[in-house]
Amino acid sequence: MKLCTFTADGHTRTGIVTGETVIETGIEGSMIDLIRQWDAIKPELEAKAASGGGIPLTSVKLEAPVQRPGKIFAIGLNYADHIAESNMGTPEQQVWFTKAQTSVNGPYDPIEIARGTFTNDYEVELVAIMGKGGKHIPAGDAPGRVFGYCVGNDVTERMAQHATQQWSFGKSFDTHAPMGPWIVTADEVSDPHDLGIRCFINGEQRQSSNTKHLVFNIWQQVEHLSRGMTLEPGDCLFTGTPGGIGAAMDPRQFLKAGDVVRCEIDGLGHIEATMVAED
């Protein structure tokens, strides 16, 4: 099932995407509330999806599927080609940083170039959204704890990222975590570790890989994080970006106002944004 958060007639609610239409779920609250109730409401939503109807997707505004995740974590250096272009060794331990809630952005909303910055970069990523979550989750149990997947862009201000050894500030600027366009539930993704993943800037392909090349796979990521913290419904894990970032090009190619960034993953759809200067 494809589940979205959308705004129409001034009201934001959750919906089921079927073809080119969206059917309101009727569930009160946000996507996190829906995820918490999933086992109980899944049959009802499947019946709604099968009944048809709904309103055209073109008449609604798609929002980030999870608008205020309790936690947003992202793993660095998790594709071999990205590690090589970064001139760094393959990490023996998982390298994690956080992105602020206020960095969440809609799948087609503009991405801001913050005042006084000029090294904004793109990073297409598969985002795993937690379902039941929990603590001390073995890797073997992790598939049953992930609710679904969407496309993400770990937008990064490189000078801010590398000004210190801690990356979170440079990764957390407003609008720098676009996600969407919807969540594809885990039962409809046969293998999240075999998905083509790509990023285009103004129509030029910059990144192209497959999630089978993750250094630490999603189940290992869930196991690692849950050793120290309780993963909760709606928490978002950015699972890593492949090679091809602008900072590694010669000459380096950073994003500027007017650039169009498109990120896509097989079976999950695409997100697309125009870069704009902050007012």
Structural domains in the chain, sorted by start = 2-63 (no CATH), 72-277 (3.90.850.10)
Q: What is the 3-state secondary structure (H, E, C) of 102-160?
A: HHEECCCCCEEECCCCCCEECCEEEEEEECCCECCCCHHHHHHCEEEEEEEECCEEHHH
What is the per-residue pLDDT for 52? 87
Query: 3-state DSSP call for residue 197?
Result: strand
DSSP 242: -
- Report the pLDDT value the prediction gives residue 232, as an integer from 0 to 100: 98
Q: What is the pTM of this model?
A: 0.97
Angle (CA) 278-62-143 rounded to 5° is 110
The first and second tokens of residue 269, run together, are 């759809």
**In the chain, how long is the greatest CA-to-CA distance?**
54
DSSP-derived pairing of the beta strands 95-98 and 21-24:
unpaired
- Contacts (Cβ under 8 Å, ≥6 apart) of 171: 74, 97, 98, 99, 103, 154, 156, 157, 161
d(CA 49, CA 5): 15
Residue 180's pLDDT is 98
Per-residue pLDDT of the chain (279 residues), as tens digits, is 999 999 999 999 999 999 999 999 999 999 999 999 999 999 999 999 999 889 999 999 999 999 999 999 999 999 988 988 888 888 899 999 999 999 999 999 999 999 999 999 999 999 999 999 999 999 999 999 999 999 999 999 999 999 999 999 999 999 999 999 999 999 999 999 999 999 999 999 999 999 999 999 999 999 999 999 999 999 999 999 999 999 999 999 999 999 999 999 999 999 999 999 998
The whole-angstrom separation of Cα 111 and Cα 228 is 32
